[in-house]
Amino acid sequence: MLLLVGLGNPSPDNEHNRHNIGFKVIDAINKKFSLSKQKPKFKGLLTTGIIEDKKVYAIKPLTFMNNSGQAIRELIEYFKIDLKDVFVFHDDLDIEFGKIKAKFAGSSAGHNGIESIDKFIGKDYSRIRIGIGRPDSKDEVADHVLKNFDEEEKEKMIHTIKKITSSISILIDKKLELFSSKVNQT
């Protein structure tokens, strides 16, 4: 049993923000693998299905980014999902735009959504960090993550998300380095 989590903010104003790339990934996975219709459960929008003969739950927490851990903890406890079977997709300022880094455990690197998850369930889960680039000034970070993708960036992210969904079997087999390498090929 696997849990795929996409981080983002649920308000319509945030739908196309850089911070919502995790939601976009979950939407693409739901579509590609014909997971169930999204239902409001566990403080999020939950879907279920089978990917590569594995039972999968996919959720977009509706608790807003900074409280993402609440929804995830409830879901993990209810279905008794092992933390090693949790994969969290989120934006990352420290990675080049459109690049991916997958890793198991580690620090939050200041990402509030990841800090919330760490607080509620610990750090022993996989993180799929999707690069959104860093603004020139530290003062611009909050505006940067809440800014919508421009048309060129949007096209690049669509391409990145397609690479993620086409390599999902590598990810769910927990071959994180191979997954990162494959999705970052041009």
Q: What CATH number did the domain enclosing 121 receive?
A: 3.40.50.1470
The number of domains in the chain is: 1
What are the beta bridge partners of residue 48? Answer: 57
Q: Which range of residues forms the domain containing residue 44?
A: 2-183
Query: Residue 31 is encoded by which pair of tokens?
Result: 């579509």
Query: Which of 1, 17, 4 is CA-nearest to residue 102?
Result: 4
Selected catalytic residue, list 19, 90, 111, 144: 19
DSSP letter string over 2-53? EEEEE----SGGGTTBGGGHHHHHHHHHHHHTTPPPPEEETTEEEEEEEETT
**In sequence order, what E strands does the chain have?**
2-6, 39-41, 44-51, 54-61, 86-92, 100-104, 126-131
User: Does the annotation count 19 as an active-site position?
Assistant: yes
pLDDT tens for 53-107 read 999 999 999 998 899 999 999 999 999 999 999 999 999 999 999 999 999 999 8
Give Cβ neighbours of residue 83 (< 8 Å, ≥ 6 apart): 76, 121, 122, 124, 125
Query: Which of 122, 111, 56 is CA-nearest to residue 85?
Result: 56
pLDDT tens for 4-53 read 999 999 988 888 999 999 999 999 999 999 999 999 999 999 999 999 99
CA distance 97 to 37: 30
Contact by Cβ (8 Å): 87, 3: yes
pLDDT at position 136 is: 79
Binned at pLDDT 50, 70 and 90, residue 186 comes out as low
